[in-house]
Amino acid sequence: MLKINYKEKINVNLLIYLAIIIVSSAILIYLDMNKFQYNYAISIIEKSLVYAVVALSMNIVTGFTGLFSLGQAGFMALGAYTTAILTIPVASRANVYYMNGILPVLENAVLPIPIALIIGGIVAAIFAALIGIPVLRLKSDYLAIATLGFSEIIRAVIASPMMDKITNGSYGLKSIPGFNSSLECFIYSLICIVIMILIINSSTGRDFKAIREDEIAARAVGIDLFKTKELSFVVSSFFTGVGGGLLAMFMRSIDSKTFQITLTYDILLIVVLGGIGSITGSIIGAFFVTAGKELLRFFDEPFAVAGVDIPLFRPGFRMVIFSILLMIVVLFFRKGLLGGNELTIRHLKKFRRKKNLDVAGGAV
């Protein structure tokens, strides 16, 4: 009677996920083969994937550990710059650093992309560990403002003349090798996302959730509050850093202005819309927001019906729509579009059953 069927449950879900991955890969391979035709779609997909990684990493610390961190842009900048510096082809470097030259040590330092991405993540993680020591002992709202401030400090340092030979100061970096195919982007993102899901569902992830639910109770069952918070913050920042590296690859050229506070807010938008504390929410949210922003582009263009200009349509309109959407979700759907739940096959089944019942009820 006390039998629990973990195995079966896990296997069914695993199969479904595998199926989704295979189908997605097949679609991406098809798109890649017809690159010129689907250029636009590919770029939306790649951007969404990168944002999904960053949004999920933000969710680890904010949604699952209950710590409100707003340092995303800063950690992304660290990862992006590290990855860029380590991957720009040697031949292009003189051209990139044409104003101030490059630090001799870095002149020939080129690493394979996956390793550069990991180092980018590690750099972000190290900074997170350092900043976490003073800040994680404080109340959560100080964490928000301190991480926000930290992110601005990083930006200022990156853009400063002292860093010219490393970050190329205010000129930014270009000629960053991009993704060879959308499949490549998919694989990197997928690895990150899978590892993050594994963490969230592990015993470590359960400790995170315990802290989110009640810090005092968590301590009372033997969870080391500071160590666990620091762990969550560092892990999250690692993946934010890797996400930053992926963003650099997607954009091919970056400068310090890429990593303004607005970037953090964009990611927060995804996390909140998708549902704080929902893995699938963050992933779907990333696609929804990124694709939404692109598809709503026409809102920013002047729009005329029968020769009469509709006055609402001009630059900035779609961001207003997104801001209003964000406010609606915050005020009326506090748990996000997915309500803090995970979208799984079981839910879909339940939903269908309910619908069928409604239909049956209607027939009587």
Partner 1 sequence: MNLFLQHALTGISVGGCYALIAIGYTLVYGILRLINFAHGDIFMVAGYFMIFSFAVMPFPVAIIVTLVATTVLGIMIEKFAYAPLRSAPRMSVMISAIGVSYLLQNLATYLFTALPKAYPAIPGLKKVITIGNISTSLVTILTPIITIVLVMILLWLVNKTKIGLSMRAVSRDYEAASLMGIKLNKTISFTFAVGSLLAAVGSILYFTDRMTVQPFSGALPGLKCFVAAVFGGIGSIPGALLGGFFIGVCETIIKAVGLSTFSDAFTFIVLIIMLLIRPTGLFGEKNIDKV
Partner 2 sequence: MTENVLKLVDMGIRFGGLNALDGLNLSVNKGEIVAIIGPNGAGKTTAFNCITGIYTPTSGMIEYLGKSIVGEEPSQITKKGIARTFQNIRLFKELSVFENVLIAMHLRYNDNIFTSTFRLNINKEKEMREETKRLLDSQDLYKYRNDIAGSLPYGIQRRLEIARALATRPTLLLLDEPAAGMNPQETMDLTSYIKEIRDKFGLTILLIEHHMDLVMDISERIYVIDFGKLIAEGSAKEVQNNPRVIEAYLGVDGDA
Positions in the binding site for partner 2 (CB under 8 A): 2, 4, 6, 195, 198-199, 202-207, 209-210, 213-214, 216-225, 231, 235, 340
Q: How many other CB atoms are found less than 10 A from the CB of residue 308? A: 8
What is the C-alpha separation between 230 and 69, in angstroms, rounded? Answer: 12
Q: Which is nearer to partner 2, 202 or 323 (CB)?
A: 202
Q: State yes or no: residue 235 binds partner 1 (CB under 8 A).
A: no
Q: Does 292 bind partner 1 (CB under 8 A)?
A: no
Q: Total binding residues for partner 1 by CB under 8 A?
A: 45
Segment interacting with partner 1, rule: CB under 8 A, options 50-58, 61-69, 105-113, 355-363: 61-69
Taking CB under 8 A as the criterion, the residue among 315, 351, 353, 355 binding partner 1 is 315
Q: Which tokens hold the place of 79?
A: 């990862």
Phi-psi region of 89 (alpha: psi -120 to 50; beta: other; left: phi over 0): beta
Task: Outline where the chain has alpha helix (H).
Answer: 6-33, 39-59, 72-87, 90-96, 113-135, 140-159, 164-167, 182-200, 203-213, 215-220, 225-251, 261-274, 279-295, 317-332, 345-363
In the list partner 1, partner 2, none, the entry touching 323 (Cβ below 5 to 8 angstroms by class) is partner 1
CA end-to-end span of the chain: 38
Report the SS3 class of residue 309. strand
Task: Select from 178, 247, 192, 188 the least CA-distant residue to 39.
Answer: 178
Query: In whole angstroms, what is the distance from residue 216 CA to residue 290 CA?
Result: 39
Among 242, 272, 279, 289, binds partner 1 (CB under 8 A): 272
From the CB of 170, what's the least distance to partner 1, in Å? 9
When asked if residue 225 is in the footprint of partner 1 (CB under 8 A), the reply is no
Q: What distance in Å separates the CA atoms of residue 323 and residue 296, rounded to the nearest whole number?
A: 13
- Per-residue contact flags (x/-) with partner 1 for residues 326 to 355, judged by CB under 8 A: xx--xx--x---------------------
Tokens of 105: 């040590």
| Nearer residue to partner 2 within complex by CB, 2 or 305 | 2
Q: Which lies closer to partner 2 via its Cβ, residue 206 or residue 353?
A: 206
In this chain, which of 118, 148, 185, 199 binds partner 1, going by CB under 8 A? 148
Contact of residue 16 among partner 2, partner 1, none (CB under 5-8 Å per partner type): none
Selection from partner 2, partner 1, none that 202 binds (CB < 5 to 8 A by kind) is partner 2
Report yes or no: 318 and 296 within 8 Å, Cβ to Cβ: yes
Binding site for partner 1 (CB under 8 A): 62, 66, 68, 131, 134-135, 138, 140-142, 144-146, 148-150, 152-153, 155-157, 159-161, 216, 261, 265, 268-269, 272, 276, 314-317, 319-320, 322-324, 326-327, 330-331, 334
